[in-house]
Chain A
Amino acid sequence: MPLEPATLASPHDDAQDYVWTLNFGPQHPATHTTLRLVLKLDGERVIDAVPDIGYLHSGFEKIGESLNYNQYVTVTDRMNYISPLANNVAWHGAVERLLGLEITPRCKYIRTIVAELARISDHLLCNGAVGLDVGAFTYFLYAFNRREDLYNIFECLCGARFTNSYTRTGGVMHDANAEFVELVRKFVKSMPKTLDDMDKLLNRNKIFVDRTKGVGILSKEEATNRSCTGPIARASGVTRDLRKDEPYLAYKDFDFQVCCATAGDCFARYLVRNAEIRESLKIVAQAIENLPSGPVNVDIGERTAIPTKQAVYQTIEGCISHFELTMSNRGFEVPSEESYAAIESPNGELGFYLVGDGSEVAYRARCRPPSFIHFSVFPQLIRGHTLSDVVAVLGSLNIIAAELDR
């Protein structure tokens, strides 16, 4: 996808023959994924940056118009693959909003736990990668070591480590078992120590602070104006957090705080993410101890979740429901309506705008991708900084190209 030279040309170009152009990506270790930046440089200083995206565009929204509501969850895994469980929760939250379906308390708690674990996993990767990009390799290893524990927890829960596809309409794939609860307890107990160690490594590290403080400043007004959400907006002083503002799932039962900073630079974004990990641990600790008992999927009468094997073999309702859900010309009914539901994903507001047409397949499945929005802010964050700051800013925005291009 060549960028036409006219995109970068400005009327003053004749007088600025010392200005040179540099292609950053699409294959560059610090972009982490496939995206391209065309940088206009004066020596080492970035005058302008033009993002060029679409290298990973795979038509996820078009695919959403031909896969049914349960099948599409596998595609959401591949959007932000750093925290696939959060995408699963967002997708089925949106589907259930469209259906008007109320999930069981146990399911709400389990989804809250996995969404928060996904947030921890995402923030660990993001901060670890920022550390790696500005030269703190040990920090990256600390972060990835703990992400391995999280993958073990996810594997215990649903069998998959990376692309979980855990949620189903009206419930989840497997109920949480005692081993999962034990693993989460162990993780919550041991994680604060790791976070303390990680804080000691970077928070007062002169190289890290010099590379990130005052770099890529996003003001509060600009953050709202450019539709930024999540940790990036909160690092600029926007106090919006959907978990508090529009409590979904079980968030209103828990005691936690919204983490904000006012500086709006890369260092503030790093601190906000670090603080959010601690708050997420608080939520997970409360949720796992108060996990309600009872069924995890909605009642058979709702005709959306596959009933248990016992219900299929021993009751007529279960048997009929199982047949109807698995037959290709049946399935559940969806209103011919449209609705939007969003969650506070690790990267910001992740929402799905769904249009149902009565069938089991969405007429339109629009995803509001936070990475896409945050990357559009990049040129104004980097202007005036040096080439070496590109990686620091890029890392702190946590751009996931699969979600960026979809």
Chain B
Amino acid sequence: MTQSATLDKLNAAFTGLAVSEFRSQTRVVAPRESAGAIFPFLKKECGFDLLVDVTCVDYLNFRDAKDRFGLVYLLASTTTNERLTIRVFVNEPDLTVPSVTPLWGGADWFEREVYDMFGIIFDGHPDLRRILMPFEFEAFPLRKDYPLQGRGERHNFPVLTRNRG
């Protein structure tokens, strides 16, 4: 669904991009170093004005996976209806990527959710707090090393009595 002109433009501006296609969806794996530059380029030069989604996949148990976390940015254009998926891989211990909030305002809560669930730090995010889990929660529940039924965090929550509450 991505026009080849867009891909040519992208390949001319950046090196080290791995382009693949699956079920007519174009995916581009961007090296982490170019993550700061590729998103402004995509928005301003290629016309991707709609950030559809930001999410993350933990490849801990995934067969043949080399990297731990894969960030997924789904972009679309409201004028040409093109779609493009950008993937950026990050590894422990440095889980920091530049935030895209200055480019797309909608990234605000997406990135907060990814931080909440995976512990990825978005550098430059204005308000990187937990969004769905309670603030005193310490783990990152969507990581693959976090069990389905939890580690008993609920039992550690402080109990408020009526007088203190």
Interface residues of A (CB under 8 A from B): 1-2, 4, 7, 53-54, 57, 59, 61-63, 65-66, 97-98, 100, 222, 224-229, 238-240, 245-246, 336-340, 342, 349, 351, 353, 355, 357-358, 363-364, 366, 368, 372-373, 376, 405-406
Contacts and interface: CB of A to CB of B under 8 A. Distances in A.
A372 B107 CA distance: 12
A34 to B, nearest CB: 13
Contacts, number: 107
Given A54-B133, A246-B1, A406-B132, 10 more contacts: A227-B52, A227-B53, A336-B63, A337-B22, A338-B72, A339-B25, A340-B53, A366-B72, A376-B108, A405-B132
Given A62-B141, A62-B148, A227-B106, A355 B57 contact: yes
B51 interface: yes
B131 interface: yes
Nearest to B127: A7
Contacts of B72: 338, 353, 366
Contacts of A357: 62-63
B134 A1 contact: yes
A347 B142 CA distance: 26
22 contacts: A1-B134, A1-B135, A63-B148, A100-B23, A222-B105, A226-B104, A227-B53, A227-B106, A227-B110, A229-B50, A246-B1, A339-B23, A340-B53, A340-B85, A353-B53, A353-B72, A355-B57, A366-B57, A368-B52, A368-B55, A372-B109, A376-B106
Q: Which of A53, A227, A339, A406 has the most CB of B within 10 A?
A: A227
Contacts of B11: none
B23 A97 contact: yes
Contacts of A239: 78
A353 B74 contact: yes
Contacts of A336: 62-63
Interface in B88-135: 104-110, 113, 117, 129-135
Interface of B: 1, 22-23, 25, 27, 49-53, 55, 57-58, 62-63, 72, 74, 78, 81, 85, 104-110, 113, 117, 129-135, 141-142, 148
A224 B55 contact: no
A123 to B, nearest CB: 22
Nearest to A240: B78
Contacts of A337: 22-23
Contacts of B23: 97-98, 100, 337, 339
Nearest to B136: A1
A405 B131 CA distance: 9
Given A98-B23, A100-B23, A364 B57 contact: yes
Contact of B133 (A4, A57, A63): A57
A98 B63 CA distance: 17
Contacts of B148: 62-63, 65-66
A336 B59 CA distance: 12
A225 B107 CA distance: 9
A376 B106 CA distance: 8
Contact of B104 (A227, A349, A351, A364): A227
B86 to A, nearest CB: 12
A224 B53 contact: no
B142 A61 contact: yes
A204 B20 CA distance: 54
Contacts of A353: 53, 55, 72, 74
A63 B109 CA distance: 21
Contact of A54 (B51, B110, B132): B132
A98 B108 CA distance: 28
B113 to A, nearest CB: 8
A364 B117 CA distance: 13
Nearest to B78: A240
The list of the 3 closest CB pairs from A to B, nearest first, reads A227-B106, A54-B132, A376-B109
B141 A225 contact: no
A100 B133 CA distance: 35
Contacts of A363: 57, 62
A74 to B, nearest CB: 17
